[in-house]
Amino acid sequence: MKTSLLALLFAATLCVSLPAADSAATKAATKKSGGRYTPSILPDIEGVSKEDMVRVRAAFVQAYQDPAIKAAKERLAELKGNAEFASASEKKDMRSDFENAIGDLHKATKAALTKADATLSRELIEKVMDAMEAKGREKAAGAMKKDAKTATPLKPFPFGDKAKETPKPEAK
């Protein structure tokens, strides 16, 4: 894992330092590194220049090493684990905890991005975070639709309706 992170950091620094960031060699190196925020995961965002997107991707790589983000992710994972077998009312009560944990993760991410690359503007970070959230919601909505389509309808109790319709033969 360290090797893939080092390779991703190397590829990210090459992307920032070289003017030909969109060359085939750079794209291949980024995809081979197995990095989390390659252009396929964090695609270009409308209204953000390619140079800024390269800087944002590099900042994300550095930001996700921040201990505050790791702690916020652990807290969120802990909440998800607690909610796995909780009843519906318990899950409803946990909603504010989830909202607070997600808010903390967003704050930590923004702070870590600013710390990783001070040249990134607040508006740019907000735009990228909003686009990532919209993409996540779209993906979740698509998954929910897919689950709804593949759900098997409930089957009636065997012979339930037919048993009522057919008269029983009379005993002789």
- For the stretch 62-91, pLDDT in tens is 998 999 999 999 999 999 999 988 898 998
HSE-up (13 A, CA, CB side) for residue 67: 0
Length of the chain: 172
In whole angstroms, what is the distance from residue 161 CA to residue 172 CA?
A: 26
Q: What is the pLDDT of residues 109-140, one digit of tens each?
A: 999 999 999 999 999 999 999 988 888 888 88
pTM, to two decimals: 0.59
Q: Percent of the chain beyond pLDDT 90?
A: 37
User: Where do runs of H (alpha helix) occur along 36-121?
Assistant: 50-63, 67-83, 88-93, 95-116
Which tops the pLDDT comparison, 156 or 44? 44
Which tops the pLDDT comparison, 33 or 99? 99
What pLDDT score was predicted for residue 41? 63
Element (H, E) at 97: helix 95-116
Which tops the pLDDT comparison, 56 or 30? 56
Q: What is the pLDDT of residues 10-46, one digit of tens each?
A: 334 434 343 334 444 344 334 434 445 455 567 788 8
Sign, CA torsion 79/84/87/89: positive
List the structure tokens of 66.
Answer: 């921040």
Residue 69's CB is within 10 A of a number of other CB atoms, namely: 19
- Please, which pLDDT band fits residue 168 given cuts at 50, 70 and 90? low
Task: Show the CA angle centred on residue 96, arms to residues 113 and 107, nearest 5°.
Answer: 10
Instruction: Give me the torsion for CA of 46, 54, 105, 115, rounded to 10°.
Output: -130
